Amino acid sequence: MRRQGAYDADSIPSFADLADASTADRAALLTPLVARVRRATRRYDAALPDVHVLRAMRCTPEERKGLIDGYDGRTVAMKRALAGMCATLPDENADLCPYCSLDQNPDLDHVLPKAVFPEFALYAPNLVPICTVCNRKKLNVVRSAGDRVLLNPAFEPSVDEPIVEAQVAYRGGQVVVTYRLDDHGQLPVEERGVARRHFARLGLAGRYRKRAHGYLAALKTNLRNRSGEVREAALRTKLEGAALFAPLNGWEPALFRAIEDDVPAMLTWLTPR
Binding site for Zn ion (CB under 5 A): 97, 99-100, 131, 134
Nearer to Zn ion, 70 or 247 (CB): 247
Shortest CB 116 distance to Zn ion, Å: 21
Cβ at position 97, least distance to Zn ion in Å: 3
For 192-195, the CB contacts below 8 A with 24+ separation are 193/147, 194/147, 194/148, 194/149, 194/150, 194/151, 194/156, 195/1, 195/151, 195/156, 195/157, 195/163
- Quote the least distance from Cβ 102 to Zn ion, whole Å: 6
Element housing 37 (H / E): helix 34-47
**Angle, helices 263-270/204-222, rounded to nearest 10 degrees:** 60
Q: How far is the CB of 255 from Zn ion (least distance, A)?
A: 17
**Rounded distance, CA 111 to CA 120, Å?**
9
Q: Is the dihedral of CA 82, 84, 86, 89 positive or negative?
A: negative
Q: Distance between CA 177 and CA 154 in Å, rounded? A: 29
Nearest CA to 120 out of 54, 210, 208 is that of 54
Nearer to Zn ion, 100 or 254 (CB): 100
Compare residues 223 and 255 and give the one whose CB is closer to Zn ion: 255
Q: Which is nearer to Zn ion, 223 or 254 (CB)?
A: 254
Nearer to Zn ion, 49 or 220 (CB): 49
**In the complex, least distance from residue 215 CB atom to Zn ion, rounded to whole angstroms:** 17
Nearer to Zn ion, 70 or 98 (CB): 98
* Cβ at position 209, least distance to Zn ion in Å: 15
Beta bridge partners of 179: 166
- Residues paired with 110 in a beta bridge: 127
Cβ 191 vs Cβ 156: under 8 Å: yes
